[in-house]
Amino acid sequence: MVETAMPRLEWIIHQVHQAQQIYASNRNEHDAFCTLLGSILRDVTGMDGGFIAELTGPFQDGIYKIKCQGIIPSVKNNSARVASHQDYFQPILSKKNTGHLPVWDIKPETVCWKTILHSQLPYATWATATELGFPSDLNVPEEVTGWRVEPILTGAQIVGIVCLWGNNKREDEFPDKMMAMMLSTVALIQMDVRDRRNMEEASLMLAKANLRLAFQRSALDEHAIVSLTDKAGVITYVNKKFCEISGYTERELIGKKHNIINSGHHSSAFFTRMWAKISSGDCWQGEICNVRKDGELYWVATTIVPNVEPGRGIIEYISIRTDITQLKLMEQKLSRESSLLRAVVDSIVDGIVACDSDGRASFANPAAQRMLGMLGSDTAAEAWAQSKYLFYPESDRALSGSDGPLAKVFSGEEQVSAFHVVRVPGTEEKLVRSAGRVLRDEHRHVIGGLLTIHDMTAKRRSEEIIVNIAQALSASPHDAFFETLVASIGSQLNIDYVLIGTYDSDLGKVSVLASTLPGDCAALSYSIADTPCELVVGIEGQPGTPGSVLISRDVMRRFPKDQDLVDLEIEAYIGAPIIQQSGGALGVLAALYRRPIEHGAIEKTILEVYAGIAARELERRQYEKEQQALQQQLLVSQKMEAMGQLSGGIAHDFNNLLGIILGNLDLLEAKVETEQTRKYIEKAIKACERGSEMTRRLLALSKRRDSGPAAPLDLNNSIHQVFDLLQKSLTGSIVTELLLDDALWLVEIRPGELENILINLAINSRDAMPMGGTITLSSMNIVLDEFNAQSLPLAPGYYVYLEFADSGEGISNEHLAHIFEPFYTTKSAGGGTGLGLAMVFMTVKQRGGYVSATSQLGCGTTFSIWFPAVTKPDLAATTPVSATAETALVGKLILIVDDEEEIRTMLSTILSQAGCQVVAVQDFVDAELALRKHDFDLIITDVILPGSQDGISWARQVGEQRKSVKIILMSGYNAAFYDEQQLKALEFPYLTKPFRRRDVLQQIQNALYSVPNTSPPVPGK
Distance CA 119, CA 589 (A): 119
Residue 591, H or E segment:
strand 585-593
Rounded alpha-carbon distances, angstroms, from residue 277 to 280, 320, 438, 732: 5, 16, 50, 119
- Cβ–Cβ contacts within 10 Å for residue 523, how many? 10
Looking at domain 707-868, its CATH class is alpha beta
Question: Does residue 914 register a pLDDT over 80?
Answer: yes
Question: Does residue 6 register a pLDDT over 90?
Answer: no
The reported pLDDT for the residue numbered 253 is 92
Question: Does residue 139 register a pLDDT over 60?
Answer: no
671-725, pLDDT tens digit by residue? 777 777 777 777 787 777 777 766 766 665 555 444 456 678 888 888 887 887 6
Distance CA 955, CA 18 (A): 174
Question: Does residue 865 register a pLDDT over 90?
Answer: yes
The mean predicted confidence, pLDDT, of the chain is 76
Pick the CATH number of 200-329 from 3.40.50.720, 3.20.20.140, 3.40.50.10140, 3.30.450.20: 3.30.450.20
The reported pLDDT for the residue numbered 419 is 81
In terms of phi and psi (left: phi > 0; alpha: psi -120 to 50; beta: otherwise), the region of 238 is beta
The reported pLDDT for the residue numbered 10 is 66
Provide mean pLDDT across the span 809-822. 80
623-656, pLDDT tens digit by residue? 888 788 777 767 766 766 676 667 666 766 777 7
Distance CA 365, CA 374 (A): 11
Q: Which residues of 725-763 are buried (b: 16+ CB within 10 A; e: fewer)?
A: ebeeebeeebeeeeeeeeebbbbbbbbbbbbbbbbbbbb
Q: How confident is the model at residue 192 (pLDDT cuts 50, 70, 90)?
A: low
Amino acid residing at 702: S
The reported pLDDT for the residue numbered 735 is 85
pTM over 0.75: no
- 3-state DSSP call for residue 365? coil
Distance CA 927, CA 905 (A): 16
Distance CA 149, CA 471 (A): 124
- What are the backbone dihedrals phi and psi of residue 908, each rounded to the nearest 5 degrees, phi first? -60, -40
- Domain spanning 893-1009 has what CATH number? 3.40.50.2300
Pick the CATH number of 366-456 from 1.20.950, 3.40.50, 1.20.120, 3.30.450: 3.30.450
- Between 1018 and 993, the more confident residue is 993
Looking at domain 460-629, its CATH class is alpha beta
The reported pLDDT for the residue numbered 306 is 92
Rounded alpha-carbon distances, angstroms, from residue 735 to 549, 644, 778, 865: 59, 37, 14, 21
Q: How confident is the model at residue 123 (pLDDT cuts 50, 70, 90)?
A: very low
- Between 141 and 875, the more confident residue is 141
Distance CA 746, CA 580 (A): 47
Three-state SS for 390-436 is: EECCCCCCECCHHHCHHHHHHCCCCEEEEEEEECCCCCCCEEEEEEE
Distance CA 609, CA 587 (A): 14
Distance CA 87, CA 626 (A): 130
Same fold, 200-329 and 460-629: yes
358-403, pLDDT tens digit by residue? 777 778 888 888 887 776 677 777 777 777 777 777 777 777 767 7
Rounded alpha-carbon distances, angstroms, from residue 9 to 1, 15, 36, 928: 12, 10, 16, 194
Q: How confident is the model at residue 332 (pLDDT cuts 50, 70, 90)?
A: confident
The reported pLDDT for the residue numbered 246 is 92
Q: Yes or no: say if 730 and 762 are a contact pair by the CB < 8 Å rule.
A: yes
Nearest to 936 by CA among 886, 1008, 881: 1008
- Between 850 and 127, the more confident residue is 850
Query: What are the sequence ranges of the domains in the chain?
Result: 1-71, 200-329, 366-456, 460-629, 707-868, 893-1009
608-619, pLDDT tens digit by residue? 888 888 888 888
Q: Is 128 exposed, middle or buried (0-12, 13-18, 19+ CB in 10 A)?
A: middle
Distance CA 387, CA 403 (A): 8
Provide mean pLDDT across the span 280-286. 92
Question: Does residue 414 register a pLDDT over 60?
Answer: yes
Q: Which residues contact 237 (CB under 8 A, 6 or more apart)?
A: 226, 227, 228, 254
Question: Does residue 863 register a pLDDT over 50?
Answer: yes
Percent of the chain with pLDDT over 90: 11
The reported pLDDT for the residue numbered 737 is 87
- Cβ–Cβ contacts within 10 Å for residue 771, how many? 9
Candidate from 390-399, 516-525, 563-572, 982-991 with smallest mean pLDDT:
982-991
The reported pLDDT for the residue numbered 712 is 86
